[in-house]
Amino acid sequence: MDDDWICGRLGEDEPWVLGAVNPPVYENSVFTFETAEELGEAIKNEDERYVYWRGTNPTVDLAQRKLAALERGERAKCFGSGMGAISATISSLVSAGDHVLVLGAVYGPTTQFLRYLEKFGVTHTHVEDLAQCDSAIRGSTRLLYFESPSYMAYQVVDIAGITAWAREHGLVTVMDNTWSTPLFQKPLTMGVDLVVHSLSKYIGGHSDLVGGVVVGPARLVRPLALTEYQLYGAAMSPHDAAKVIKGLRTLPVRMAAHQERGLAVAAFLNDHPGVRAVNHPGLPSHPGHAVALRQMSGFSSLFSVELDTESREKVAAFLDKLRYFRIGVSWGGFESLVNAPALSTEESVRATMGIPVGLVRLSVGLEPADTLIKDLGLALEGLVA
């Protein structure tokens, strides 16, 4: 099935749409039935039947169908936030006494949630590579969680290799695929069991949405849709689902532009004397570039650079001199954003995550690359001087 068609047309020609160019937004919280028996049957299948907004809704369901098709998965479940999807997914797979392996750097709140689970008897271990997985796995290990490219460092994981190892040891694998989007990387086709996304980033694409999704086989998605999704209450609203649908329509065009601009900016910084390193998997100099080319069809525009300084003050001054890059968290929208973790992260936490003082994260938006390169060049002049 063609990804462009999925993004733009899948499900939008069905009778319930009534020929509307934009699929209807079903705002009602409750759906009624002709008989009590019909209601009873619907409640048993509330992940698929329209009963109450907290279960699902036609607008949300359309977004879910598109996302499942893009990831080549059987089922998708949308949540009110990325962390809603991540926390529900992890919770559905572990019980008291279980152990989780975390491969590489992952989103900070994901680690916080795993620490939160410790009070319920679920432990976790962070490992850097497959060799450490071999030494860290326990009899109680149930889950392997990772991102590729990884959080902040943007290291590339050999997805097929790590999932083969996990299957050999009876582990379920969950991967955060937000960086690549389903257009540039399809982890389910490489053996990953469940994929999660923050829909707030590239898929939404306009910095006006908070949402998340989990995609995978029905045998894993349906239980969490009926249990954790319902009990945690992180339901996606139909209005946010409509934004997801609209974001998907332009996703192929936007991602092509993000890739072009991101690589141009990364190449400029890679040659700049004020920059020690550029962590972008699309650059031939990146240590994971060959693996990335094998398992990805493109590159997004989120990456990090290490400035040639150990001074927090100089890092802050660099950010303050930027005019087109705005200072802020999140990423994936039209606007270019910059953030320096060392300025807002406790030193002990930063040291644990291996984040140097000079690390700066750039989200290259859709402004002209020349404009962004000039902006960075002017800000770097003071750093080199």
What is the arithmetic mean of pLDDT over 318-334? 95
To 10 degrees, what angle do helices 369-384 and 238-270 make? 50
For the chain, the distance separating the N- and C-terminal CA atoms, rounded to the nearest angstrom, is 54
Give residue-wise pLDDT tens across range 91-114.
999 999 999 999 999 998 999 999
Q: What pLDDT was estimated at residue 348?
A: 58
Task: List pLDDT tens digits, range 168-178.
Answer: 999 999 999 99
Look up the pTM and report it.
0.94
pLDDT for the residue 55: 83
How many helices and strands (H and E) does the chain possess?
15, 12
Rg (CA), the chain: 21
Beta bridge pairs of residue 76? 215
CB 276 within 8 A of CB 282: no
What average pLDDT does the segment 358-369 reach?
97
Strands 337-339 and 326-327: parallel
At 18 the pLDDT is 86
Give catalytic residue positions: 54, 107, 176, 201
pLDDT band at 63 (very low <50, low <70, confident <90, very high): very high
Query: What is the tens place of the pLDDT at every residue in 132-142?
Result: 999 999 999 99
**pLDDT for res 344:** 75
